[in-house]
Structure 1
Amino acid sequence: MISIIYLIVTSLLVGHTLGTLHHHNRKPPPQPPVTRFLDFILPDSDDGGWDVLADDSSLRLAAPGPCTVDVRHARDLTQQQFLETYAYNAPVIIVGASDNKDFRALTRRSSLLSWLGESKVRLSSANTYSYDKRDVTFSTYCHQHMKPQSLQTLANETFYLFGDHSHPQWLSLLEDYNIPPYSLPGHSPMLSFGVAGPGSGVPFHFHGPGFAETIWGRKRWFLAPPDAAPIFNPNRTTLQWLLEDYPKGPPLESMLECTLNPGELVYFPDRWWHATLNIDPCVFVSTFLSP
């Protein structure tokens, strides 16, 4: 009788111990992925009228890549968490940060051409230093400068629209943009509006902190910390670097990247290296944070 009781107690103890070990070794359930904003604000076919070459994919050389940047939804990221985790330390993709559906409607291709087609815009060369400038009408830019980027064209020979808006109507347009709901102490927001063709972009460069939101199209970002400067030629395009130079160079373990969908934004800290590559024709707004 004693032996039977001993066996029962022993079995219970062993079972309890194994159950406890199993409980402590169990991995926590995975967190649900952040729903990317594009999934519920835009139908897949809606490109704002910008993708006039959508049927000729053979002209496209740029493609999305992996995402190694933290992706957070604004409802789960407070201002305090932003300051503690990202503001001075690392980039982050933020989903659902601002409601810019009205601004998106204003920046459809047909709307902008109708409203601002004959206004003058200043184009910048798409190299690291953007030292060369050209003035054209917005209509001329849309019809002549937004073709898919060629691998034979250098960055200093490519011109794109970003910033340098002196026409009052451009400034009026930006008044309808809702800036991101995050801030840095002692910094004020300054807005820049851009439109660029597929395969275009800017090679690696750095400046102060800020946000960049994609309104129409997809934009691929490459980012590296201030102390890990990438190897690149400032006059070669991001497309040339990605397809021809990057595969031959040493691996950059500190490099981060992600492709922004419409309605998403990226935050880049002060002096972080970054390069951009427009997968589609893109409309975008940057909110630079100036001390």
Structure 2
Amino acid sequence: MGNKAAPFVVLCLIYGLRAEDGGGWSLPSDLRLEDEGFCNIDVLDGSSLSHQDFIDRYAFSRPVVLRGLTDNTKFRFLCSKWSLLAEYSSRTVRLSTANTYSYRKVDVPFQEFVDELLKPQAADALGSGPGTGVPFHWHGPGYSEVIYGRKRWFLFPPDHEPHFHPNRTTLSWVTETYPNLPEDEAPLECTIRPGEVLYFPDRWWHATLNLDLSVFISTFLG
């Protein structure tokens, strides 16, 4: 496909896998982010929430974390390093600082991303390992499911735009801005673990911070 290959969007967003079940993605890192913070979002067993309860309580009003919804054994295999490189090594992937409303985008071959760009996050530069994440942005409602690692989420309702710099990393926001927020400007937040799914409603501001090398999949609703 050469240099004219269109950008390829990989459905699973890869930042590596944890050492105990790494799928080939584990990387040595001096960066350790142990602070999971607290969780002030409802966390429920998915089987205990009916469709009508979800509509009434969460779909249009607030986030919720659901557990025990799926078995990801097959998807874990498909997201292994060797499986993805065998299928997509020559494809182009688009790296960005956010999802739908990215502030910066860079197109690189997937092989180059794996070989050269997978590294821990620095406070002043983009990386692809622990400490990465997307800065605050918003779009339609969606689900995000963690396959490997831990992913910390920060959310604000549509009428409460957070204070942040669009070209600074989430890591810098967490270390510099978050500790000084007044109580009435504190976000909703929770750390999502493998097998857990976070739902957020339409137009909710959200930012993420990967505490480990992590793999997740997001689904956005129209």
Alignment root-mean-square deviation, CA = 2.2
- The Cα of 1:217 is off from its aligned counterpart by 1.6
Pick aligned residue for 2:116 from 144, 151, 154: 144
Q: Distance in 2 between matches of 1:274 and 1:110?
A: 32
Q: Distance in 1 between matches of 2:187 and 2:215?
A: 25
Amino acid at match of 1:261: R
- The Cα of 1:109 is off from its aligned counterpart by 1.9
- The Cα of 1:128 is off from its aligned counterpart by 9.1
Match of 2:20 in 1: 45
Does residue 104 in structure 1 map to residue 76 in structure 2?
A: yes
User: Equivalent residue of 1:59, what SS?
Assistant: coil
Does residue 261 in structure 1 map to residue 181 in structure 2?
A: no
- Aligned residues of 2:98 and 2:137 also touching (Cα < 8 A): no
Structure 2, unmatched stretches of 5+, are 1-17
Amino acid at match of 1:120: T
- Aligned residues of 2:33 and 2:212 also touching (Cα < 8 A): no
Q: TM-score, normalised by structure 1?
A: 0.65
Q: Which runs of 4+ in 1 moved over 3 A?
A: 60-63, 125-129
Q: TM-score, normalised by structure 2?
A: 0.83
- The Cα of 1:239 is off from its aligned counterpart by 0.4
Pick aligned residue for 1:208 from 140, 159, 162: 140
- Aligned residues of 2:142 and 2:199 also touching (Cα < 8 A): yes
- Aligned residues of 2:148 and 2:216 also touching (Cα < 8 A): yes
Q: Which has the higher Rg, Structure 1 or Structure 2?
A: 1
Pick aligned residue for 2:44 from 66, 72, 92: 72
- The Cα of 1:282 is off from its aligned counterpart by 1.9
- The Cα of 1:283 is off from its aligned counterpart by 1.7
Between the aligned residues of both structures, percent identity stands at 53
User: Equivalent residue of 1:45, what SS?
Assistant: helix
Name whichever structure is richer in helix by fraction. 1
Q: Greater RCO between the two (CA within 8 Å, min separation 6)?
A: 2
- The Cα of 1:63 is off from its aligned counterpart by 3.8
Aligned length: 205
Q: Distance in 1 between matches of 2:184 and 2:115?
A: 38
After superposition, the C-alpha distances for 1:52-102 in whole angstroms (9 at most, x for unaligned) are 22xx4x323574221111101111011111101110111000111223221
Match of 2:60 in 1: 88
Q: Distance in 1 between matches of 2:130 and 2:110?
A: 17
